[in-house]
């Protein structure tokens, strides 16, 4: 498993955790009847900020842990080269395309909620759901392409 | 998708160059070992630049490393 593959796997798991957290909180709000603008927007902010922070810290931590593991396994101080080549870039682009397509479909579905007479809060909730789902599908596609070879 | 239509002789050429490892070739052309594995498994067709770099490492022409097999010929 290459460095990029490990990094994407960590990102995939962190996005799944964030989506889980978001859905649990959202269902708690719906059940308690507290689906109001203030609480939904604060949840939205928490989810977006945590997605950004988790992405940054997961990448840094993965880098540090992999360097330590590499040093222990090879018993040398020579740094492992975490290079990214043309295949990594192409896989990244394919993953990004899947993310964009998923998010576009999500925005369309969110707009459709208006057609069915749902309040604007539902639209915002659906947009956040699809933004995280898009990241998950993009990461999953990249992991799949890495596992298959390309 | 699946296997690429661009086939190659990388494995054979590595063998004839003092049994060069995938890691050594990867370092010489500036890619990861996984990319060499994907190319040898004919899952990934490299860019023209990378193809030239690989041919240069082995000191042969591009055609001696890579060749194209049209789809109708692979089905025969």
Q: Judge: A85–B31 Cβ closer than 8 Å, yes or no.
A: yes
How far out from the chain centre does Cα A144 lie? 15
> Tokens 């931590």 sit at which residue?
A61
Residue A88 in contact with partner chain B when CB distance is under 8 A: yes
Q: Which residues contact A95 (CB under 8 A, 6 or more apart)?
A: A8, A138, A139, A141, A142, A145
Of A72-81, A94-103, A117-126, A133-142, give the lowest mean pLDDT range: A72-81
Domain that holds residue A29: 3-148
Express the helix, strand and coil content of chain B in percent, nearest 5 each: 55, 10, 35
Instruction: Give pTM, 2 decimals.
Output: 0.86
pLDDT tens, residue order, chain B (76 aa) = 568 889 999 999 999 999 999 999 999 999 999 999 999 999 999 999 999 999 999 999 999 999 998 876 655 5
B35–chain A Cβ distance below 8 A for any pair: yes
pLDDT of residue A81: 64
Closest-approach residue (CA) in chain B for A85:
B31
Instruction: Domain count for chain A, please give it.
Output: 1
Q: Which of A2, A74, A87, A146 to mutate to test the interface with B (most CBs of B within 10 A)?
A: A87
d(CA A128, CA A22): 9
At A40 the pLDDT is 87
Evaluate if residue A64 carries a pLDDT over 60.
Answer: yes
SS3 B28: helix
The answer to whether B48 contacts chain A (CB < 8 Å) is no
Sorted by sequence, the CB contacts under 8 Å of residue A59 that are 6+ apart come out as A7, A10, A11
Q: Does A83 reach chain B within 8 Å, measured CB to CB? A: yes
């Amino acid at each position: 498993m290459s460095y990029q593959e490990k990094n994407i796997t960590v990102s995939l798991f962190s996005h799944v955790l964030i989506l889980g957290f978001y859905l649990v909180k959202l269902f708690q709000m719906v059940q308690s009847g507290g689906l109001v603008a203030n609480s939904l927007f604060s949840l939205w902010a928490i989810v977006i900020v945590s997605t950004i922070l988790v992405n940054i810290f997961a990448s840094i931590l993965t880098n540090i842990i992999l360097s330590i593991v590499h040093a222990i396994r090879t018993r040398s101080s020579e740094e492992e080269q975490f290079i990214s080549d043309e295949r990594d870039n192409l896989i990244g682009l394919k993953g990004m395309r899947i993310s964009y397509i998923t998010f576009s479909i999500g925005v369309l579905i969110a707009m459709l909620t208006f057609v069915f007479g749902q309040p604007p809060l539902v639209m915002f909730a659906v947009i956040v759901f699809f933004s995280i789902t898009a990241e998950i599908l993009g990461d999953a596609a990249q992991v799949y392409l890495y596992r298959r070879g390309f | 998708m699946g296997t690429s239509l661009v086939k190659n002789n990388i494995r054979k050429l590595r063998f004839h160059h003092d049994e060069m490892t995938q890691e050594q070739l990867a370092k010489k052309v500036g890619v990861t070992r996984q990319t060499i594995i994907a190319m040898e498994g004919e899952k990934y067709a490299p860019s023209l630049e990378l193809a030239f770099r690989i041919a240069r490492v082995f000191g042969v022409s591009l055609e001696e490393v890579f060749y194209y097999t049209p789809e109708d010929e692979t089905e025969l």
